[in-house]
Amino acid sequence: MIGVSEEQKNLSLTDQAAQKIYFGENLINAIEEFKNIEGSQKLCRKINQELKFLKKVLKNNQLKKEHLQCSNLTHFAALINVLKTVENCKSVNKVFLLNDKKVTVDIVSDGGLTWTKVIARNPKSVSQICMGNASYGVRSIIDQAEEFSECAKFQPCLFQTPKIIFIFTNGVSHNIASKLETYGITVKGTRLEDLNEIDEDDVDFSDTDDEAQEYNTDNLSGITELSTNNVSSISKVNLDVSAMLAYCSSVTNGSAAIYDFEVPVLKQQAAWERLRPQKHILEDFFKDKKLYCCQTAKDNFENIVKTVGGPNENVRAKELLERLVVLPDDADYRSTSENDQFNEVFNKVQYTNDSLKVGGKIRQRSLTIFTFGDRIRAVTVSANEGFVRAARQQGVNFVVFIHESRALTEQKEKTKAIPIAK
């Protein structure tokens, strides 16, 4: 078989970029129809920013596949298409404040009585994020539904709480649609069967959430400095979901030396793993310690492994869970078997039930897991540096050991992996 030359690959990528730019320029023309609507010029500027960036990397021969994958032009196109169907539109990209946090509503119509959010992501990608298989800091559609629902209550129009509509232009799973409807949200879009398998081809790397954290492949500084000092005497370890995933991942159990990946996030993690093997770091820290986790962490871990884990990752997950002591979310140190000596380091923990506000990088699942660790007086092992930083900014210091993030990769090795030449 004749391989595809690098020149041909670059030409194909260049053609894709040219098409994307042409697509974006047509969107600019389409906005003219709505130029009198509040926020339309802001939307136009956002599209121009996307075009300016694509033209720049194309001109400088710096174009990469992820530049096209991360483009928000698809979302903007979906927004404009929906805009053509609404009545009495008041504004687009309208920002409301909720406890000093920005909530961006794509379309405010019916004179302010209806808020519409447009979701152009692939439905499998939406499901993946809801299952927790995403970079920390990226909020799921359920998280955003909670924010929309709460924010609308504080922004009445004509003495009425605005109606909220989520439009999924590529469809949505039955489970997620049903969950959204419990928040009083009207869900539009094709209802799909539950999406148990996630193929990287179906993952849309673009992000329609203005406040979402961008993936950074270059900056690793500051991870280790987040770990709490002087915890060697603490014999209890509380495992976060991210720690369990890293421990069981194929990439931390030998495949990093065998495979590279086409997917940017997995490619970067494999490169990191070859430099800093995380399984050894975790095993060294676990030595002579008893491993715990709360029920929430166990349930989420099992769901993720079942959804995206490969055969060997499932076996390792089962073996790891057999080593763990699983306790209820509200357990405390009296539920543990060790003769607990109150360690001075826990005097610095400032947690109370209402110290941290859920939102942004403070997600309820993470708050439950980290709080559990402090209650049983264990060191929480996690890759969730975003949560730890956000908690510190609010004056709460958890007792933690931070490691680098690793995703489950075994399924991707079948289709998206590139064997490393020996």
Q: What confidence score (pLDDT) does residue 248 get?
A: 96
The pLDDT mean for the chain works out to 82
Residue 193 and residue 246 in one domain: no
pLDDT for residue 389: 85
Q: In 214-288, where do the E strands start and end?
A: 236-239, 259-261
Judged by DSSP in three states, 279 sits in helix
What is the per-residue pLDDT for 359?
Answer: 76
From CA 303, how far away is CA 175, in angstroms rounded? 14
Which of 202, 236, 267 lies at the terminal end of a domain, its last residue? 202
Q: Is residue 214 part of a domain?
A: no
Residue 66 has, within 13 A of its CA and on its CB side, a CA count of: 14
User: pLDDT tens for residues 379-401?
Assistant: 999 999 888 888 888 888 899 99
The residue-averaged pLDDT of 87-116 equals 91
CATH code assigned at 374:
3.40.50.1010
Q: Are residues 286 and 410 in the same domain?
A: yes
In a domain, 21, yes or no: yes
Residue 312 lies in a domain: yes
Six-digit token string for 134: 């995403």
Q: Is residue 212 part of a domain?
A: no
Residue that the structure tokens 């050991």 belong to: 401
Q: In this structure, are 24 and 146 located in the same domain?
A: yes
Looking at the structure of the chain, the number of domains it has is 2
Q: Report pLDDT for 347.
A: 60
Statement to judge: residues 45 and 174 lie in one domain: yes
What's the pLDDT band for 64 if we cut at 50, 70, 90? Answer: confident
pTM, full prediction: 0.53
Asked whether residue 343 is assigned to any structural domain, the reply reads yes
pLDDT in tens, 322-350: 999 999 999 988 888 765 565 566 666 65
- Pair (272, 407) in one structural domain: yes
Alpha-carbon distance 284 to 411, whole Å?
28
Average pLDDT over residues 175-203: 72
Same domain membership, residue 361 and residue 285: yes
pLDDT band at 81 (very low <50, low <70, confident <90, very high): very high
Q: Residue 327 and residue 369: Cα distance in Å, rounded?
A: 11
Residue 134 CB coordination number (10 Å)? 18
Q: Is 402 inside a domain boundary?
A: yes
Task: Count Cβ atoms below 10 Å from residue 352 Cβ, excluding itself.
Answer: 9
Residue pair 403/383 in contact by the 8 Å Cβ criterion? yes
- Same structural domain for residues 198 and 235? no
- In angstroms, the Cα distances linking 56 to 6, 28, 50, 314 are 21, 18, 10, 44
Terminal alpha carbon distance of the chain: 21
* Helix, strand and coil in the chain, % to nearest 5: 45, 15, 35
Tokens of 102: 């920005």
Least confident of 59-68, 92-101, 225-234: 59-68
Residues 326, 189 within the same domain: no
Q: Are residues 244 and 361 in the same domain?
A: yes
- Lowest-confidence segment of 50-54, 82-86, 122-126, 257-261 by average pLDDT: 122-126
Residue 48 domain-assigned (yes or no): yes
Of 202, 233, 256, the residue that ends a domain is: 202
Region for residue 260 given its phi and psi (left: phi exceeds 0; alpha: psi -120 to 50; beta: otherwise): beta
Identity of the residue numbered 137: G
**Residue 124 located in a structural domain:** yes
Q: Which domain holds residue 162?
A: 6-202
pLDDT of 205 above 70: no
Looking at per-residue confidence, does 193 or 219 come out higher?
193
180 and 243 in a single domain? The answer is: no
Q: Say yes or no to pLDDT of 159 above 90.
A: no
H or E, element range at 288: none
pLDDT of residue 343: 58
Q: 226, 388 in Cβ contact below 8 A?
A: yes
Q: How far is CA 142 from CA 125, 126, 146, in A?
A: 13, 10, 6
Could you tell me whether strands 163-168 and 186-188 are parallel, antiparallel, or unpaired per DSSP bridges? parallel
Question: Per this entry, what is the length of the chain?
Answer: 422
Q: What is the pLDDT of residue 197?
A: 41
Does residue 282 share a domain with residue 375?
yes
Of the pLDDT bands very low, low, confident and very high (cuts 50, 70, 90), residue 71 is confident
Residues 198 and 249 in one domain: no
Confidence of residue 169 (pLDDT cuts 50, 70, 90): very high
